[in-house]
Chains A and B, each alone.
Chain A
Amino acid sequence: MTSQNVPAVEIRGVSKVFNPGGSNEVLALEDINLEIAAGDFVTLIGPSGCGKSTLLRLVAALVGSSSGEVLVNGKSADQARLDRDYSMVFQKAGLFDWRNVARNIELPLELMGWRKSARHRRSTEMLELVQLQDFARHFPQQLSGGMAQRVAIARAMSFNPALLLMDEPFGALDEMTREHMQNEVLRIWSETNTTVIFVTHSISEAVFLSTKVVVMSPRPGRIAAVLENHLESRDDTARDSPEFFANVSEVRKLLRAGEN
């Protein structure tokens, strides 16, 4: 479907002004340029209010840009949304309480008009992917935070989107669950060849997960630096490797520099 030459995401000279002309006008993003290749794992990191979520929403065409251009798979972001080229995961799992786990995962497939048997086959596969085979008939209220977030990821991946947009998906999880989920997401990423844009506040999370760390600075939101992040491996030994620590302190330095 997606040719290897077309970047997964191209952001060219994008600015975003909320409430233009109003007394509460906010310049959320200014002159953003970013190119994301297919298969990349890109994290956006920066202080609160620097426009990370806004940038993600621009790629998702949930808000429009004030100027500049956002292309997803070579198409306008809005066309990509209608073509279901991407999927989103939020900080809150956002599962629907009235649907059991399997039917939550099948929701996008239902909206796309998949047949019941195909949907069922798919949700079973997805439950295996996130290792929740035994919970198909459970309801969201019966899940822990980490399990609910895994269901949200399974739902997002159910229709094989080329691009996965994640806004602080593990922000509400405890440290242990969080590390476990990071390993899960890396496994899913390497198994499925998806492009990921991942928003986080955690420097170590950004360095552990991504092939590219985009450091943002606030007022107005700008890209301060882009760090190519090559790690030998991405398993638990990587968390203790010298290159991991080197890149963590590099990102920290860039964040500090952006604040002044």
Chain B
Amino acid sequence: MKQLSNFVQIWPPLVATAIALGSWEFLLWITQPDGFVLPPPTEIAAAVGENFATITTATRVTGFIIVTGLVAGVLLGITAALLVTTFRTANETITPLAVAINAIPIVALAPIFNFWFGLLSPRSNQAVVVALVFFPIVINTARGLTEVEPSQIELMESYGVRKWRIIREVRIPNAMPFFFTALKLATSLAVIAAIVAEYFGGRQDALGNIITSSAGLTRYADAWAAVLAGSLLGIVLYGVAVLAERVTMPWYFLARRS
């Protein structure tokens, strides 16, 4: 329980958020800017209230795309990292491929994916998420699998064990902190990827579509309500990743000696 104590320290950010929202509301109230480019928090809250059903549906639709894309990208990334670090030929084929994929501005591919998967299919959005999540997972996990203290590998060899046993006992646990660093990064990437991909196509009742259509109709409070839902998704996913990290590697968070 003691290890969770830092995690439970949520009061400071809550207070900071309240102060930020308060000053935002107050500043707009005293300056009274033209138009509705930046609506005050109360108006956004009202928009959420009015369109509650639409926003929750959209959050569910986009959340599904994010989570499935994230899971698929992470699984693909882990598999690729294991292949790359275990077999030399895999390293020579997959690594350049991963680098090449990373060099493509994936989000720019969204309209092309729409053409492949159908304009209204969520598949194209998922594909964008998978492609964006894949690279950081492969690179970090592969680093964790290879950056092992050489004497630890020699020790295992001196016990006369096979390669797969070394992978299981040493390389995989060694890669865990690297993997979780990438996973936390991947959660925010996945949210961005899904919403931007939805600007170009996919289901019409998703967050990205609500943002573009509301903004087009100058209903900015509605657009902001959808943005808010997107950031909530990001925060929840990040929190889940942090929690998973704590639960799977309690040893990593022990107070370090000296």
Contacts of A91 in B (CB 8 A): 151
Residues in B whose Cβ lies below 8 Å from that of A57: 154
Q: Which residue of A60, A62, A94 has the most chain B CB atoms within 10 A of its CB atom?
A: A94
Contacting pair B160 A81 (CB below 8 A):
yes
Could you tell me if B252 and A94 are in contact, using CB atoms closer than 8 angstroms? no
B158 with A60: CB separation less than 8 A? yes
Residues of B in contact (CB 8 Å), total: 22
Determine whether the beta carbon of A90 is less than 8 Å from that of B151.
yes
Tell me how many residues of A have a C-beta within 8 Å of chain B: 26
A9 nearest CB across to chain B (Å)? 15
Q: How far is the CA of A60 from the CA of B255 in the complex (A)?
A: 36
Judge if B249 is at the interface, Cβ distance under 8 Å.
Answer: yes
From A81, A94, A144, give the contact of B149 (CB < 8 A).
Answer: A94
Chain A nearest Cβ from B224, distance in angstroms: 44
Bound-state CA distance A62–B156 (Å) is 10
- A98 touching B257 by the CB < 8 A rule? no
Inter-chain CA distance A194–B255, complex, in Å, is: 37
Distance between Cα atoms of A232 and B256 in the complex (Å) = 43
A108 to B158, CA, bound (A): 10
B17 within 8 A of A: no
How far is it, in angstroms, between the C-alpha of A87 and the C-alpha of B176 when the chains are bound? 28
Q: Give a binary string over B157-176; 1 marks a CB under 8 Å from any A CB, 0 the rest.
A: 11111000100011001001
Please tell me if the beta carbons of B160 and A82 are within 8 angstroms of each other in the complex: yes
Contacts of B154 on A, CB cut-off 8 Å?
Answer: 57, 62, 88, 90
On whether the beta carbons of A98 and B159 are closer than 8 Å, the reply is no
* 0 or 1 for each of B70-84: is its CB under 8 Å from A? (1 = yes): 000000000000000
Chain A residues near B161 (CB-CB < 8 A): 111
Whether a CB of chain A sits under 8 angstroms from the CB of B152 is yes
Alpha-carbon distance A62/B173, docked complex (angstroms): 23
What residues on B are CB-neighbors of A62 within 8 Å? 154, 157-158
Chain A residues with CB under 8 Å of B257's CB are 141-144
With contact pairs A97-B251, A97-B252, A142-B257 given, residues A87 and B158 touching in the complex (Cβ less than 8 Å): yes
User: Judging by beta carbons under 8 Å apart, are B173 and A96 in contact?
Assistant: yes
CB < 8 Å neighbour of A84 from B159, B169, B256: B159
Q: Give the complex CA separation of A86 and B256 in angstroms.
A: 32
Residues of B within 8 A of A86 (CB): 158
Interface residues in B167-210 by Cβ distance below 8 A to A read 169-170, 173, 176
Question: A63 → chain B, closest Cβ, in Å?
Answer: 10
Instruction: Determine whether the beta carbon of B155 is less than 8 Å from that of A84.
Output: no
Closest A residue by C-beta to B176? A98
Write the chain A residue with the least CB distance to B173. A98
CA distance A9 to B248 in the complex (A): 44
Residue A252 lies at the interface, judged by CB distance under 8 Å to chain B: no
Taking CB atoms, residues of chain B closer than 8 Å to A82 are: 160
Q: A96 and B157: CB pair below 8 A?
A: no
Contact residues in A for B15 (Cβ distance below 8 Å): none
Q: List 18 A-B pairs, Cβ < 8 Å.
A: A81-B158, A84-B159, A86-B158, A87-B158, A88-B154, A88-B155, A90-B151, A90-B154, A91-B151, A92-B149, A92-B151, A94-B151, A94-B155, A97-B251, A98-B249, A98-B251, A111-B169, A139-B254
Kindly list the 8 A-B residue pairs having the minimum CB-CB distance in the complex, ordered from nearest: A90-B151, A98-B173, A82-B160, A94-B151, A139-B251, A94-B152, A88-B158, A98-B251
* Extra 12 A-B pairs, beta carbons < 8 Å, given A57-B154, A98-B252: A81-B158, A87-B158, A88-B154, A91-B151, A92-B149, A96-B169, A96-B173, A111-B169, A139-B254, A141-B256, A141-B257, A143-B257
